[in-house]
Amino acid sequence: MSPVSTVSSRLIYDALKACDIRLLSALPETWLVHLVRMADDDPEMTLVRLAKEEEGVGISAGAHLAGVKSAMLMQNHGFLASINGIVSCAQLYRIPLLMLVSFRGEFGERDPWQTEGGAVTEDLLRALRIPFSYLDHPDHVARRIATAQTLALSANKPVALLLCRDLMWEEG
Amino acid sequence: MKRVDALSAIYPHLESRVVVTIMGAVAAELQSIGHRPNFFYLQHAMGLASSMGLGIALTRPDRHVVVFDGDGSVLMNLGGLTTLARYRPRNLVHVVFDNESLLSVGGFPTATSTGSDLEKLAAAAGVPRTATVRELGEFTRAFEEALGANDLTTIVAKVDATGPSKFVTDLALLENRFEFQRWLRKSG
């Protein structure tokens, strides 16, 4: 039984649908497995599985200009892999971009390869002036996703939500 | 053949289609022939023009999308060819103008000048219809066939390593972005 929280994933997924998100681009990682499966099973959602996360920035930009709301599901290392696309496509062209980024390499992380990425994620988001917040408790998931999307649309910019271990990982 | 001649030859087909281009010579030359609100020039984010085209093609199956790409850009997003092939949008034609160089930064040769074959890469990635063309007549035929084929096509068009004298045009990036969005959302 995977310790990734299905309950939290369902809260997140439903909140995305409530914001009229109809396309999700994803490069899965452990914490995102249920979210990706929910998107795959949902006939109202277009799931685009990527080879590299940066592609998702372009795909979301195209979807947005076409009038369809989308979001990206990726690990924080995927965010690192996307940075040029975020800066020279989403920011340069003022494209709203909701990014759900799983926050690996933080307190509680057992995988050593994740730890460098965890250390730089928040500073990079700040350096790029990407507004961000944390999803770390079920009580605020729906509201934070809705308000993140509201800001992305009014600012015409990328906004990030960091999916935290306390929300996503069920383990004693 | 010259890229600007290839664009001129097929220009009438672009008038009703959604067009996404990469930066540099392609964007400047298409604008020199005639800008239209259905043309979007992705002036940076190399590699992502094809991803943008995919996003539009998937969300607007009622529209035909043409992506004008370059060898340098495709090489930066080779994985994107596999994603294009995986989702196989029937309404997308992908033209790669391959001048075997990064022209606008001074003409550095890319790997297609030393044997890397973008058509074979696209086909191996799973793109169902591919072609390499070198002459203008070949290009227009391949393009017109692709428009009628109702399937994902990548055409690698070998072109001269020449371009316009300047790459910055008088169309502001954001002006293009908002005008294109307005057209795209209203159309179809």
Q: Mean pLDDT over residues A20-30, rounded?
A: 95
pLDDT number for residue B188: 65
Q: What are phi and psi of B28, to 5 degrees?
A: -65, -40
Supply B83's token pair: 């994603």
pLDDT number for residue A28: 86
CATH of the domain at A160: 3.40.50.970
pLDDT number for residue A152: 98
CA distance B122 to B152: 11
In a domain, residue A140? The reply is: yes
Is the per-residue pLDDT at A172 higher than 60?
Answer: no
Q: Mean pLDDT over residues A30-59, rounded?
A: 97
Specify the DSSP element, H or E, that contains B13. helix B3-14
B180: closest CA among B2, B29, B20?
B20
Q: Closest approach of chain B CAs to the CA of A91, in angstroms? A: 10
Long-range pairs of A143-146 with CB within 8 A, sequence gap ≥ 24: A145/A12, A145/A15, A145/A16, A145/A18, A145/A19, A145/A98, A146/A15, A146/A18, A146/A19
B36-60 tens-digit pLDDT: 999 999 999 999 999 999 999 999 9
Say if the Cβ atoms of A65 and B173 lie within 8 Å.
no
| Domains of chain B, first to last | 3-186 (3.40.50.970)
Closest Cβ opposite residue B48 in set A65, A68, A89: A89
- For B120-142, b/e burial (b = at least 16 CB within 10 A) is ebbbebebebbbbbeebebbeeb
Say if the Cβ atoms of B52 and A84 lie within 8 Å.
no
Residues of chain B short of pLDDT 50, as ranges, are none
A94 touches chain B (CB under 8 A): yes
In a domain, residue A1? The reply is: no
A67 touches chain B (CB under 8 A): yes
In a domain, residue A23? The reply is: yes
A99 touches chain B (CB under 8 A): no
- Which residues span the domain enclosing A30? 6-168
pLDDT number for residue A1: 62
Q: Mean pLDDT over residues A24-41, rounded?
A: 96
In a domain, residue A98? The reply is: yes
A108: closest CA among A168, A162, A160, A161?
A168
A153-169 tens-digit pLDDT: 999 999 999 999 999 99
Supply B61's token pair: 């199956």
Q: What is the pTM of this model?
A: 0.97
Q: Mean pLDDT over residues A4-26, rounded?
A: 98
